[in-house]
Structure 1
Amino acid sequence: MLNEQEIINFQQVIGYKFKNIDLLIQALTHSSFVNEQKINKKPDYERLEFLGDAILEMVSSEYLFKKYPDKKEGEMSKIRASLVCEPALAFCAEHIELKKYIQLGKGEELTGGRNKESIIADVMEAVIGALFLDGGLQESKRFIDTYVLTNADSMAMFNDSKSLLQEFVQAGGLGQIKYEICGESGPEHDKIFDVRVWIGDKNMGEGTGKTKKAAEQKAAYQALLVLKNK
């Protein structure tokens, strides 16, 4: 259960003090936590997630519309999908350590819910919804601009980073790509995989994830950032 200091800390991290603190608590509360409460049940984040999802789509659409005046609708839709997909939102959430503030039920906690990208992404959207209700569109937009759209050009590569890396490496004749599992942690039902990506004999990136594929995707993304900044 969140304590008062954790609530204060999270507000400091995101740079906003809620007038209605119940909105923030709701945004950070999973249905499994609510279901385990016998009395004084509070609502979970799902309604706020619904609202936040719509706001995120609107703000990201406006951003892309202004940023890419020559791109067609289909191209912008594809970029937006990469920016707001579950893995990308969960990746962005790492900057504010969001997962440590989520209220989960004991069962969900034991089965690895705190590391599930789907839950983390949902809570990101719920926080956006809570910010909208408490501080208006300006505050929710500030959060999105700061934590989702800051590196939009780079994040547009995130959803398809493995295939993009393959294309980039082949076009440049940079050598063979090899993904190596360099570590595993957690119980059998809640594994976290550490993956390293090699291009030729060079270690070009590392990633972690709940699945090998997710970890490889993150490692490939890191490698793309390095290669494109050379």
Structure 2
Amino acid sequence: MSGLGAGGGLLDLALTHASYAHEQGLSQHNERLEFLGDAVLALTISDALYRRFPGEPEGELTARRATLVCEASLTRVAQRLGLGPQLRLGRGEAASGGRERPSILAAALEALLGAVWLDAGPARCRELVEEWFGGQLASLEGPDNPKAQLQELVQQNPGWELEYRLVEEKGPAHAPSFEVAVYVGGRLLGTGSGKSKKAAEKSAARAGLESLLQLRAEGAHQGHHPA
């Protein structure tokens, strides 16, 4: 973890899970740094997306950000950095697979970013976010693909099922119009229309993304079923 820009004391704290602190009688662990790092990550990712996608509407920027700051994305970055073996975990947590647990890895990554913010400031945080998430940011610069973004969000929640249903097909054969609805777990999230089923599904996926992200922001399902 050397070279991040944060001092050794804060780095150790960022890697200290509550289970270790409780076991060792320590007064501090990484949850406060995680709180700070979560906000730092959201800000730096938002800044990167704002600069990379000029003119893109807020809803689509929000959808892109969600794919980057979700637990699955943070876990992949933490695994690439090799955080698992460096975590300070209580004996029980370590024995139960805590070093591979996505929630613990994601939290530690955010805590690291919080530590860097305190010791090295926002410029260094931006550098690290570009380094850690550069590949994912670059992939978002490809073709607009709300269906893939929605699918990724749904896959983060085991048990959720994504379904597109044709609602209506109208118009003459040479100029048809389609309306499609998108459902997650049987709940209608949005509808869209287009001159082909593919275009209508893409439009519906974009509407579904906005609805799902709004539900998440409001804490409507808090990691459970969206219904």
For the aligned pair, the TM-score class normalised by the smaller chain equals 0.5 to 0.7
Give the Å deviation of 1:152: 1.4
Residues 5, 124 of structure 2: 8 Å contact kept = no
Matches within 5 A, 1:147-166: 147-154=132-139, 160-161=151-152
Give the Å deviation of 1:17: 5.0
- Aligned partners of 2:104 and 2:114: how far apart in 1? 15
The 3 A distance-change label for structure 1 pair 17 and 75 is closer
What is the match of residue 120 of structure 1? 105
What is the match of residue 132 of structure 1? 117
What is the match of residue 35 of structure 1? 22
Structure 1 residue 16 and structure 2 residue 4: aligned? yes
User: What amino acid does structure 2 have at the position aligned with 1:16?
Assistant: L
Residues 88, 158 of structure 1: 8 Å contact kept = no
User: What amino acid does structure 2 have at the position aligned with 1:94?
Assistant: Q
What is the match of residue 185 of structure 1? none
Residues 68, 136 of structure 2: 8 Å contact kept = no
TM-score by length of 1: 0.60
Give the Å deviation of 1:154: 3.0
User: What is the Cα-based RMSD across aligned positions, in Å?
Assistant: 2.5
Give the Å deviation of 1:141: 1.6
Give the Å deviation of 1:161: 4.1
The 3 A distance-change label for structure 1 pair 32 and 22 is same
Question: In structure 1, the residue corresponding to 2:24 is in which secondary structure?
Answer: coil
What is the match of residue 210 of structure 1? none
Q: Size of the alignment, in residue pairs? A: 151
What is the match of residue 84 of structure 1? 69
Matches within 5 A, 1:170-209: none
- Aligned partners of 2:12 and 2:96: how far apart in 1? 22
Q: Which of 29, 33, 57 is matched with 1:72 structurally? A: 57
- Aligned partners of 1:127 and 1:159: how far apart in 2? 28
Give the Å deviation of 1:16: 3.0
The 3 A distance-change label for structure 1 pair 62 and 44 is same
Larger radius of gyration: 2
The 3 A distance-change label for structure 1 pair 162 and 55 is closer
User: For 1:39-96, what per-residue CA distance to the aligned partner results, in whole angstroms no more than 9, with x for missing partners?
Assistant: xx25111000111111111111111111111321111111100001000011112221
Residues 67, 152 of structure 2: 8 Å contact kept = no
Give the Å deviation of 1:153: 3.8
- Aligned partners of 1:80 and 1:69: how far apart in 2? 15
Which segments of 5 or more consecutive residues in structure 1 lack a partner in the other structure? 1-9, 168-230
Once the two structures are overlaid, the 10-residue window that deviates more, 68-77 or 78-87, is 68-77
The 3 A distance-change label for structure 1 pair 81 and 163 is closer
The 3 A distance-change label for structure 1 pair 85 and 162 is closer
What is the match of residue 214 of structure 2? none
Structure 1 residue 59 and structure 2 residue 44: aligned? yes
What is the match of residue 105 of structure 1? 90
Give the Å deviation of 1:99: 1.1
Residues 49, 123 of structure 1: 8 Å contact kept = yes
User: What amino acid does structure 2 have at the position aligned with 1:160?
Assistant: Q
Give the Å deviation of 1:159: 7.4
Question: In structure 1, the residue corresponding to 2:11 is in which secondary structure?
Answer: helix
Which segments of 5 or more consecutive residues in structure 2 lack a partner in the other structure? 142-147, 156-161, 164-227
The 3 A distance-change label for structure 1 pair 17 and 127 is same
Report sequence identity in percent.
36
